[in-house]
Amino acid sequence: MTETEFMQQIIDLAHLYSWHVAHFRPAWSRDGKRCMTAVAADGAGFPDLCMVKRCRLIFAELKADKGRLSPEQQGWIDNLTNSMRCEVYIWKPENFEEIVEVLTRE
């Protein structure tokens, strides 16, 4: 399963359980040589998904089975985990049962 397919599976599941979901898609540069997400300031490495439902806020970084965090992604994960009242996850397809449990919990 690709990371894109996995992400769509998580978005669909989140919508099924009434989560409001944000994802910022990358786009190809004009020269067609690079794929990048338009961000400013410290946006590089921002988690793939931001989800909110009532009093819960989730940030999730999604990775394919062998995917690894970049230093920028690890920085966001560390800062969010240490400084906010939110839930922060790094999810891979093998975590699907946990993901269902998290998204169905009230």
Q: Name residue 56's beta-bridge partners.
A: 53
Lowest-pLDDT range of 25-29, 42-46, 65-69, 71-75: 25-29
pLDDT digits (tens, 9 = 90+) for 52-74: 999 999 999 999 888 899 999 99
Contacts (Cβ under 8 Å, ≥6 apart) of 57: 50, 51, 84, 85, 86, 87
| Mean pLDDT taken over the chain | 89
pLDDT at 32 over 80: no
Mean pLDDT in residue range 4-13: 95
Alpha carbon distances (Å) from 62 to 1, 54, 86, 89: 12, 23, 17, 8
pLDDT at 11 over 70: yes
Look up the pTM and report it.
Answer: 0.83
Domains, the chain, ordered by start: 3-23+44-104 (3.40.1350.10)
pLDDT reported for residue 106: 81
